[in-house]
Amino acid sequence: MSKKSREVLRADHSACQKKAIHAEQKTATQRELQESTIARRSSDLDSALKEKIRLENERDSLQAKSTSCIAKTRRSPQGQLSIHNHCKRNYTYRCL
């Protein structure tokens, strides 16, 4: 093998090593970005699920209050609805 062909092989080998190192660095960076994105999305999902549970509990509580107020509401002899102050404060009487 001639000296020139060895130099060409060494240059090619060096170029391949640089490409491999660059590819490894790029892969590592992409992996870090992916892991960071997954962690952020997981946190977002946890927050959304907690908010969903809170809103469902609030809805259930308001429905229970509304049902209670509706059940207790009576018509006066003049035909007007008697609405509890509690219902007025929470605007649940509007659903009547």
Domain range enclosing 49: 3-95
Q: How many domains does the chain have?
A: 1
State pTM to two decimals.
Answer: 0.56
Separation CA 11–CA 3 (nearest Å): 12
What pLDDT digit, counting tens, does each position of 30-61 carry?
999 999 999 999 999 999 999 999 999 999 99
Residue 79 DSSP symbol: S
Q: Mean pLDDT, to the nearest integer, of 8-28?
A: 97
The structure tokens listed for 4 are: 């020139």
Task: Please state, in angstroms and as integers, the Cα–Cα distance from residue 58 to each residue in 48, 52, 80, following that order.
Answer: 15, 10, 30
Separation CA 89–CA 2 (nearest Å): 96
